[in-house]
Amino acid sequence: MFDSADFKVLVCTASFACYLIYKQFEPNSLLVHAVLLLGVPTLLAWQLSSQLSVLQQIGAAVSYWCLILAFTALYRLSPIHPLAKYPGPTFGKLSKIYVAYLVARGDLYRAIKDWHERYGDVVRIGPNELSFRRVDAVQPIYGAKTMPKGPYYDTRTTPDGVCQLDGVRDFSVHGLRRKPWVRAMSSTALKGYEPILHTKTLELMEELSKRQGEKIDISHWLNLFGFDFLGLMAFGREFGMVKSGEDHLGLLHIVEEGIFAFAVISHTPWIYPFIKHIPAQGPKAMQLLGASCVRERTSKGSTSKDLFYFLTEDEGAAQSGATPDEITADGMLAVIAGSDTTSTVLVHLWYFMLRHPECAEKLHKEIDVTFPPGEDPLDFSRHADMPYLNACINETLRLLPPVLGGLQRTVKRGSGGAMIGSYFVPESTQVSVHIFSLQRDPREFSPLPDDFWPDRWLTQDSYTLPTGDVINKEQVTTNRAAFDPFSFGPQNCAGKALAMVEMRVVACAMMHKFELRESKEYDLNQWEKDLLDTYVTLRGKLPVILEQRQGH
Ligand code: HEM
């Protein structure tokens, strides 16, 4: 027979044991969650059913759950926690739910920058997670093949076990899967995509020309362009969005919904097993679209060397070991990862041009000198050698990279911990470098770390600041090692080379043809306020008016 004290000890012991299992093994399976969170309290209540009323049995179950939470919270805030010496917001130390909440508000990148300003270079942003704002953390976290991706990436695998490239944790498997991508981004392969980029850019110019003088949302148009180009480049699939002027397939909506949902869930991956079997409309629609692209592309066969060719037919493809489902997932990854990111940079570039007419004027001059009237601004061979164009793109990528936050990696369990710069980090800790904070760190980029000042990327003996003051080159710091919009190391952006070509071409073509004016009804200050950090950036509308330039 149990008395009330025995009963309390029993509930306490059971919940402490459960807490220890969670702490030690971090189980991820639905069955284990069900046993620990439902099975154990049900068993307890059943055992005690002869001595307790129904209400008391419910009380016992609630106490069991509350005690697990209390043990967890106490440990996480206690001085014996392995990360106790690292400062950070209390809610963050307690649970990643806080970070997930900030993602849902779109505010995470601002919050982490503020925390770095308040707490220093290393901040504890989760119970077992540290954010770094140090350039010497980039190589140890992303460069050496010792820190695999963290649980944040659990959502990159579908319930059927299909893992897209960016979800692969094992470095040797990842190396094989990346092989076709390396070939798909070689300079020869890029040459092969030029005709598509040429045609699609001309199409965009044509549609925009029809709307000159009108107020248009340039953000929307660049989104349409991004999808059209990537659809053709990846699968030879014509989405026809620029021609129609609208998202007639509902693609943008599906992708935005999916990005938002996954960004929130990824910070609390223990939720994923509970919800991954719920058929969500966005991912399902993406899967169906991917499958239809593959079907259509396979029946057409290879008429040109698109990404699908490199993933399936080129000699690198056989070595990748990817299943047909994984190839479909990677093709769709390219469409999503490649279209949204590149168009985000281009829209940010227009935003900065509107805010800094003096920079727009300088860029117009460089474009006019490189492509005098009568010459084709889509001559790809010249864009890489346009210093100011490239400086403007770099400066945009520095201030507002499309992936604003830190990319999570894990100090391997069993590794005994790792040194990241001069900081010792215990094993099983998740770590990342916060891109947005590092790229605005005055130690790495000065003067004017928070301002759009493309000149910092130019090689000169002296520099004129926007105020008119002249400074010499020793007074300018531009640390390229702290510039990581495409991430770093073996799992960095697989499409960087293509993205750079695309951004240069579209920026050059648009600036060559148009003068950009801001719409009177739109307050440009709103632009940055409306950005949402959901792993990639979700953005609002940017209403502008385009005027065709004289003689172009
Ligand atoms: C300005 C444009 C772009 C930016 C800033 C960008 C940025 C990034 C970043 C930061 C990552 C690392 C993600 C992580 O570790 O979680 C990444 C990965 C990736 N990106 Fe990009 N990206 C851009 C354009 C593209 C394009 C055009 C493509 C394809 C055509 C592409 C394909 C990929 C792929 C496949 C990965 C996964 C690589 C892997 O895990 O091995 N990206 N990108």
- Given a cut of 60, whether residue 429 has pLDDT beyond it is yes
**Residue 111 is encoded by which pair of tokens?**
């919050």
Atom of ligand 1 nearest to the CA of 339: 27
Q: What CA–CA distance (Å, rounded) separates 111 from 108?
A: 5
Residue 241 Cα to ligand 1 middle (Å) = 23
Residue 394 Cα to ligand 1 middle (Å) = 16
- Given a cut of 60, whether residue 267 has pLDDT beyond it is yes
pLDDT digit string (tens) for 352-411? 999 999 999 999 999 999 998 778 889 888 998 999 999 999 999 999 999 999 999 999
Can you list the alpha helix ranges (DSSP code H) found in 301-421? 307-312, 315-320, 324-355, 357-370, 387-399
By the 10 Å C-beta count (0-12 exposed, 13-18 middle, 19+ buried), 4 is classed as exposed
The domain locations on the chain are: 4-77, 165-444+479-548
Phi-psi region of 468 (alpha: psi -120 to 50; beta: other; left: phi over 0): left
Closest residue by CA, ligand 1 atom 20: 493
DSSP class per residue in 491-516: TS-TTHHHHHHHHHHHHHHHHHHEEE
Ligand 1 pocket test: which of 341, 392, 431 has the largest number of ligand atoms within 8 Å of its C-beta?
Answer: 341
Residue 227 Cα to ligand 1 middle (Å) = 15
Tell whether ligand 1 has an atom less than 6 A from the beta carbon of residue 165. yes
Atom of ligand 1 nearest to the CA of 492: 12
- Given a cut of 70, whether residue 282 has pLDDT beyond it is no
Q: What CA–CA distance (Å, rounded) separates 482 from 297?
A: 40
ipTM of the complex: 0.99
Tell whether ligand 1 has an atom less than 6 A from the beta carbon of residue 539. no
Cβ atoms 292, 235 nearer than 8 A: no
Residue 176's φ and ψ, nearest 5 degrees, are: -70, -45
User: Which CATH code fits 165-444+479-548?
Assistant: 1.10.630.10
Tell whether ligand 1 has an atom less than 6 A from the beta carbon of residue 495. yes
- Given a cut of 90, whether residue 320 has pLDDT beyond it is no
Confidence of residue 217 (pLDDT cuts 50, 70, 90): very high
> pLDDT above 90 covers what percent of the chain?
65
